[in-house]
Amino acid sequence: GESVGLHLPTLSVQEGDNSIINCAYSNSASDYFIWYKQESGKGPQFIIDIRSNMDKRQGQRVTVLLNKTVKHLSLQIAATQPGDSAVYFCADYSGGYQKVTFGTGTKLQVIP
């Protein structure tokens, strides 16, 4: 079936460095792609989204890149901080009501 998956289960980054979290998707009909952050013991928190007709979107310290040719999505976090330590999920949405399909997740560990 259609799925959204991540390349790496765990990513360790030095504090202050940039982080890049990658995601592959298979549903070419997806309208939106979304990144969520989930800290331990909490529910997922929306970070940023991107429409399928865009290839880049920037937020505060975060940038999402979309490459539809290879069905690849990435989240870049600038100047990674200890508070960025969490599991990051990419997710997609393909229309209709708000059925959002999540990937497995990447755990980001920030080394002080």
Partner 1 sequence: DAGVTQSPTHLIKTRGQQVTLRCSPKSGHDTVSWYQQALGQGPQFIFQYYEEEERQRGNFPDRFSGHQFPNYSSELNVNALLLGDSALYLCASSPGVLAGLELFFGEGSRLTVL
How far apart CA 27 and CA 39 sit, in angstroms, is 27
Query: Which residues lie across from 107 on neighbouring strands?
Result: 10, 87
Q: Binding to partner 1 by residue 99, rule CB under 8 A?
A: yes
User: Which residues between 28 and 87 bind partner 1 (CB under 8 A)?
Assistant: 32, 34, 41-46, 49
- List 73, 105, 108, 110, residue binding partner 1 (CB under 8 A): 105
Contact window for partner 1 (CB under 8 A) among 11-19, 60-68, 72-80, 96-104: 96-104
Per DSSP, the three-state class of 73 is: strand
**Spatial separation of the C-alpha atoms in residues 104 and 83, rounded to whole Å:** 21
CB of 36 to partner 1, least distance (A): 8
Regarding 10 and contact with partner 1 (CB under 8 A), the answer is no
**83 φ, ψ (degrees, to nearest 5):** -70, -10
